[in-house]
Copies of this chain bind each other. A is one copy, B any other.
Amino acid sequence: MSADIGPDKGTEPTHGDSADDMLRAWRAGIDTYQEPVVYMRRDCAVCRSEGFTTQARIRLTAGSGSIVATLCVVDGPWLGHGVAGLSEAAWRALHPQPGQWITVSHAPVLDSLSHVRSKVYGHRLDAGAFRAVIGDIAAGRYSDLHLATFITACAGDHLDLDETVSLTQAMIDVGERLDWGRDMVVDKHCVGGLPGNRTTLLVVPIVAACGLTMPKTSSRAITSPAGTADTMEVLAPVDLDIGAMRRTVERTGACIVWGGSVRLSPADDVLIRVERPLDLDSEGQLVASVLSKKAAAGSTHVLIDLPVGPTAKVRSREAAQALGRRLVEVGRSIGLQVALRVTDGLQPVGRGIGPALEARDVLAVLRRQADAPDDLRQRALRLAGDILELGGAAPPGAGLRLATEVLADGRAWAKFAAICEAQGGLREVPVASHRHVVEAPSAGRVTSIDNRVLSRAAKLAGAPRAPAAGVDVHVRLGDIVRAGQPLFTLHAQAPGELAYAQQYVNARPPIFQISEAS
């Protein structure tokens, strides 16, 4: 079934000195997520002469391109002689011609790992150390294990202010930096942790409809069931390169694209791929990640939304203040004006959790549907009002009114449609094929909702990878429910995933606390 792999016998390298370290590139079709992996036979000449062993870090050079990959040694018969099998990530990174000769050699010693070890042992790192580490990370020289170690060592409160500034600056310097040729470029960011808080898709068109420039780059989910980029992708393409992003902004004054595809802060994209399976997110890295993206995107004024609640990412007003202070201070050090809004994070925003369900909520608000979730609408209007004032499009105190007008008279919806069009065309929202309704076990008043468990259930159901998957929440804090009334619906695109999410929900204490109504 695989007789076509590898080079023909007739074209094998001669085993002279010069060819011993050369193999022919073969696309093995193995999806190793984003870690580049190379598969080589244990008995190949270069493994024997270089003493390569599994897990070694190997440099692959094809023409003028070069990457570092993790080696998996193969004894099986499926890998041809004289062939280097590349995982999908390695193939994308090196992009050789099929069968092209590639040279393999030991990866250079990673001196920057000594800084990582130093951080693990609790020492401070200076700007040079962060530049070295981030440079190697952006160049793909760290294995996933190295990345996990760096992330963990910087997590908790292990980075002080100077270190966070150094990390942020290093992450900016290693990527591209956009210049929009104007003094005022506004932006917003939500620190997250609040399911369904998809205000960006409303704020951007409102603000842009009032004449401000807002080239928004968003991230995909790290630990949540949907990132803004995941939700926007349900409605329009987000994988724009810098040229396409620029054209969108020139035409509409705004965009909502995935930050990773424009290679702003490329080190951040690498770190995020490992943070995601670890379900780990730290203050220093959060600040560096957010602000490096904003600075690289050419923003000058940034509003940060900090939702606070016992099960949101920021759990107390004090924690929000500490994080906010850090964001403002690091922003100042790198030349960004940062404003804050601490918001209520007690319960999910809107009704949907997961890309398609959240996109549906956003469209309902933009289209002024009667059943649109009012909490999402109100949050977005307040944030948009803040930005209109921050950017000078409304006098102090008048931002909320202007934002409300622009949404009510359809200008925001028209602007959003224009942005989607410029990004490649507005799409239909997909609907999940498998659903399961969870009902109230007893009558009473809803007194608390566990955001974390809801998010986890949405992820187990397949979000964000399966865009239509997630959780649709039917009741809110303070609602009176009767026994058997639907509390939420699990949506999935595969029966196994629906069962898995259901099983998880069944094994937990109730997600919705219901007290006897008084």
Contacts and interface: CB of A to CB of B under 8 A. Distances in A.
A87 B71 CA distance: 13
Given A120-B155, A492-B51, A278 B149 contact: yes
Contact of A149 (B39, B55, B280): B280
Chain copies in complex: 2
Nearest to A37: B72
B51 A152 contact: no
A77 B2 contact: yes
A462 B153 CA distance: 29
Interface in A17-76: 21, 27-33, 39, 42, 46, 48-51, 53-55, 72-76
Contact of A31 (B50, B54, B462): B54
Given A157-B122, A497-B50, A113 B279 contact: yes
A146 interface: yes
Contact of A29 (B3, B76, B278): B76
Interface residues of A, number: 73
A27 B76 contact: yes
B31 A78 contact: no
B5 A145 contact: no
A427 interface: no
B2 A78 contact: yes
A458 to B, nearest CB: 13
Contacts of A30: 39, 72-76
Interface of A: 1-6, 21, 27-33, 39, 42, 46, 48-51, 53-55, 72-80, 87-88, 106, 109, 113, 117, 120-122, 143-146, 148-149, 151-153, 155-157, 274, 277-280, 282, 460, 462, 465-466, 469, 492-497, 500, 504
11 contacts: A2-B3, A2-B77, A21-B496, A29-B75, A31-B54, A51-B469, A55-B277, A106-B496, A113-B279, A144-B144, A145-B148
**Interchain residue pairs A-B with the least CB separation, the first 3:** A29-B76, A50-B496, A152-B152
